[in-house]
């Protein structure tokens, strides 16, 4: 335009000056000719640089002109051919029929043909508004049905290239948490019809990305080249655009935050993007940003779900390990680990404890007489029952060795753990008698000899280190445990032998027999020992815990039926749903089984009850009835 103005106006001005002031005769008709260069230059600039989207208007004018010419020629040709055909068939009378038939043909075929021709012209010369809407609808439907991040990006890039006829298009997605960028670009493969799919190495702190995040607006290469606002920073922006082979960058915005950008290269037509193109691209960018955000969120949810499933699996594995290791690890160690999982305190410390040693008399003889599997099952049967009694009294099984076991009792109250140890020992003897009765006739009865001692012991982990590796064991060691082990050797015939220290802590709750000072192996001084007799009824805490109703002393004759055989006995105390009977061989009864009872109360009334044996002891047999007893 400047070139056209330079040709048009100086020549005309000079001609008028010479004509008016210098007297030079100039033909004014020729002077007007240079003025035509200016509008010609404007037209050339508009056409060359596609100013004001002039190509759209030109294409529409040409398109609609061509369409009008085609329809006009088609109309005249059809009318001429049809008139000639009608006159040939119907003669002169066909002149009146011709307009009617032609009108019908116009109604049936003209509008469909008109639409087809118009659509063809539109596709050839310019993209219609209807195509714009169809593209948006198609992209929207595609994006809403996708949740895979890669598929969404590919769909956006391929759709833009197809609809816009662009040589290169790509998407850059920002990852703020990792301070990285994810890129996907598609361009033309030189010399082939294949697409060149590639990544563009670009940093999260790239100047162009920073500019897009800051301004949140569309940026073109021409803006960067011509706008004075980019003076001083123009080169870094242009290098970024050149690396992406892009002439325009459109931000991907979701919830007011820039998530990335769409980079577009040149249109294959050589023209720049029209206003209609920019509107379409902005709409697609907005939809793509939302779809990418949803896909990213979905992938995070899936990843969190997978992590959660893996964590739950690890927890299940740990719980399984804990459950299985709990069979081998003492309860005290379990508690220490749970209190401080990262650094459990397993160092040896002095503590006041009561130690119980119990072993089977004649274990060697049993092993020689029976198969190994039978011996193992027998020991498991007895030791399983012993474990219930030990746990019930708060003991911690520390070691087992074939025919014996070591149990540690700890409590802040020194008399309480001594009392619990003796109660556990009594429970072991009671369960031994019960199982002996159950196995009568199958195996020879066994006896347990038990030793109990109380005092200070070194409790904690002991490291055993050798060439093959390191092993740890948690135990109590020292004179207290040694004396307890030696006392067990004195407990022949099912006796429970306790030390003087344990005896002092028990008070008068248990009846004991003084055995006097005893010399023990590897113990320097003689130790005064005692044998525990059956406890007084009030001291049997375990039995009392089972009673849900208060008891009172009674003296009721009771007949107990074992199968078809009856045995006479007597009830010594009773509660609403329980009775304790004596004077019947315990070997005849089994814990957990039910028997018929005939009870004669003080009113000479005979009560029929079914009772289940709960406990067997020297003080009596505890039984539970389902129907209440008359205690009023």
> Which pLDDT score, from 0 to 100, does residue 340 have?
58
Average pLDDT of span 53-72: 64
Widest pairwise Cα distance in the chain: 165
First-to-last alpha carbon distance for the chain, in angstroms, is 124
Position 167 confidence tier, pLDDT thresholds 50, 70, 90 = confident
Q: Is the pLDDT of residue 87 over 70?
A: yes
- Return mean pLDDT, the chain: 78
The rounded distance, in Å, linking the Cα atoms of 81 and 86 is 9
Rg of the chain taking only CA atoms, in angstroms:
53
What average pLDDT does this structure show over 534-563? 64
Confidence category of residue 78, pLDDT binned at 50, 70, 90: confident
| pLDDT (average), residues 511-525 | 86
CB 556 within 8 A of CB 574: yes
Q: Which of 179, 180, 238, 178 minimizes the C-alpha distance to 208?
A: 238
pLDDT (0 to 100) of residue 542: 39
Is 80's pLDDT higher than 70?
yes
| Contact yes or no for 355/484 (Cβ under 8 A) | yes
| Residue 593, phi-psi category: left (phi > 0), alpha (psi -120 to 50), beta (remainder) | beta
Residues 388-412 pLDDT 10s: 888 888 888 877 766 788 999 988 8
Maximum mean pLDDT: which of 146-150, 260-264, 386-390, 581-585: 260-264
Q: What Å distances lie between residue 528 and 451, 494, 506, 511, 524, CA to CA?
A: 13, 19, 15, 16, 13
pLDDT at 259 over 80: yes
Check whether 127 has a pLDDT greater than 50. Answer: no
Checking if the pLDDT of 337 tops 90, the result is no
Q: Which residues, other chains included, contact 340 with Cβ-Cβ below 8 Å and sequence gap of 6+?
A: none
Distance CA 149, CA 298 (A): 9
Quickly count: other Cβ atoms within 10 Å of residue 358's Cβ.
Answer: 26
pLDDT band, residue 502 (cuts 50/70/90): very high
> Class for domain 130-298, per CATH?
alpha beta
Residue range 490-509: average pLDDT?
A: 85
Half-sphere exposure of 101 (CA within 13 A, CB side): 16
| Helices and strands in the chain, H and E counts | 19, 20
Digit-coded pLDDT (tens) for 537-549:
433 443 443 445 6
Query: Kind of pairing, strands 469-477 and 496-499?
Result: unpaired
Top pLDDT among 478 and 460 is at 478
**Residue 509 scores a pLDDT above 60:** yes
* % pLDDT > 70, the chain: 73
Q: Which residue has the tokens 């033909």?
A: 27
φ, ψ for residue 624 (rounded to 5)?
-115, 130
Give the model's confidence band at 583: pLDDT under 50 very low, under 70 low, under 90 confident, else very high: confident
Give per-residue pLDDT as tens, 178-216.
888 989 999 887 767 678 888 888 888 898 998 888 888
Specify the fold of 346-538.
Alpha-Beta Plaits (3.30.70)
List pLDDT tens digits, range 591-613: 788 999 999 876 667 889 999 98
Would you list the domain boundaries of the chain? 2-125, 130-298, 346-538, 548-625
The whole-number pLDDT of residue 493 equals 67
| pLDDT band of 558, cuts 50, 70, 90 | very high
CA distance 502 to 483: 12
Confirm if 477 and 349 have CB atoms less than 8 A apart.
no
Mean pLDDT of 141-166: 80
Distances (CA, A) of 234 to 226, 228, 237, 472: 9, 9, 5, 71
Report percent pLDDT > 90 for the chain. 12
Q: What is the DSSP string of 401-416?
A: ETTEEEEEEE-SSHHH
Distant-in-sequence, close-in-space partners of 451: CB < 8 Å, separation ≥ 6: 356, 357, 358, 483, 484, 485, 486, 487, 488, 489, 490, 491, 496, 497, 498
Least confidently predicted of 125-129, 264-268, 441-445, 546-550: 125-129
Cβ neighbours of residue 494 closer than 8 Å, sequence gap 6 or more: 429, 432, 447, 448, 449
Confidence band of 354 (pLDDT split at 50, 70, 90)? very high
CATH of 548-625, one of 1.10.8.50, 2.30.40.10, 2.40.10.220, 3.30.70.260: 2.40.10.220
Taking residues 255-274, what's their average pLDDT? Answer: 84
């Amino acid at each position: 335009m400047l070139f056209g103005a330079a040709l048009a106006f100086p020549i005309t001005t000079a001609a008028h000056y010479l004509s008016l002031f210098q007297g030079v005769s100039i033909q004014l008709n020729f002077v007007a000719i240079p003025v035509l260069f200016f509008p010609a230059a404007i037209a050339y600039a508009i056409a060359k640089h596609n100013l004001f989207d002039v190509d759209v208007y030109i294409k529409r004018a040409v398109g609609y002109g061509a369409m009008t010419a085609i329809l006009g020629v088609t109309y005249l040709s059809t009318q001429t051919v049809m008139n000639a055909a009608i006159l040939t068939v119907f003669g002169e009378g066909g002149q009146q029929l011709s307009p009617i038939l032609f009108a019908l043909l116009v109604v049936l075929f003209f509008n469909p043909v008109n639409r087809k021709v118009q659509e063809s012209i539109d596709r050839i010369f310019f993209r219609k508004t209807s195509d714009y809407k169809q593209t948006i609808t198609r992209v929207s439907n595609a994006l809403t049905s996708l949740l895979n991040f890669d598929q969404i990006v590919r769909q956006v890039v391929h759709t833009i290239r197809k609809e816009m006829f662009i040589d290169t298009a790509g998407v850059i997605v920002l990852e703020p948490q990792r301070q990285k960028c994810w890129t996907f670009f598609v361009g033309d493969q030189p010399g082939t019809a294949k697409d060149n799919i590639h990544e563009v190495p670009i940093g999260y702190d790239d100047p162009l990305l920073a500019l897009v995040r800051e301004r949140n607006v569309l940026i073109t290469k021409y803006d960067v080249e011509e706008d004075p606002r980019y003076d001083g920073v123009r080169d870094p922006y242009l290098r970024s655009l050149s690396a992406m082979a892009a002439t325009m960058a459109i931000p991907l915005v979701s919830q007011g935050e820039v998530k990335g950008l769409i980079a577009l290269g040149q249109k294959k037509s050589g023209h720049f993007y029209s206003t209609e193109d920019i509107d379409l691209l902005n709409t697609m960018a907005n939809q793509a940003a939302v779809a990418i955000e949803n896909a990213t969120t979905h992938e995070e949810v899936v990843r969190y779900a997978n992590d959660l499933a893996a964590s739950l699996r690890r927890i299940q594995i740990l719980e399984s390990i804990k459950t299985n290791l709990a069979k081998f690890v003492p309860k005290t160690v379990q508690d220490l680990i749970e209190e401080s999982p990262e650094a459990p305190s397993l160092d040896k410390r002095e503590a006041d404890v009561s130690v119980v040693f119990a072993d089977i008399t004649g274990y060697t003889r049993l092993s020689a007489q029976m198969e190994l599997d039978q011996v193992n099952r027998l020991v498991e049967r007895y030791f399983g029952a012993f474990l219930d009694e030990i746990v019930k009294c708060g003991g911690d099984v520390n070691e087992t060795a074939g025919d014996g076991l070591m149990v540690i009792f700890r409590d802040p109250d020194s008399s309480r753990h001594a009392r619990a140890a003796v109660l556990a020992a009594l429970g072991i003897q009671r369960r031994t008698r019960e199982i002996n009765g159950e196995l009568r006739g199958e195996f020879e009865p066994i006896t347990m000899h038990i030793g109990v001692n109380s005092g200070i012991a070194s409790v904690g982990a002991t490291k055993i280190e050798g060439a093959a590796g390191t092993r740890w064991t948690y135990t109590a060691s020292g004179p207290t445990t040694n004396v307890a082990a030696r006392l067990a050797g004195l407990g022949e015939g099912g006796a429970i032998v306790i030390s003087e220290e344990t005896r002092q802590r028990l008070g008068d709750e248990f009846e004991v027999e003084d055995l006097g000072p005893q010399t023990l192996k590897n113990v320097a001084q003689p130790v005064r020992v005692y044998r525990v007799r059956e406890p007084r009824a009030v001291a049997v805490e375990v039995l009392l815990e089972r009673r849900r109703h208060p008891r009172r002393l009674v003296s009721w004759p009771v007949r107990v039926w074992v199968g078809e055989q009856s045995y006479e006995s007597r009830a010594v105390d009773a509660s609403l749903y329980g009775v304790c009977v004596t004077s019947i061989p315990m070997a005849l009864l089994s814990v957990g089984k039910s028997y018929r009872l005939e009870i004669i109360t003080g009113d000479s009334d005979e009560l029929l009850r079914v009772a289940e044996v709960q406990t067997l002891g020297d003080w009596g047999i505890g039984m539970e009835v389902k129907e209440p007893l008359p205690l009023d």
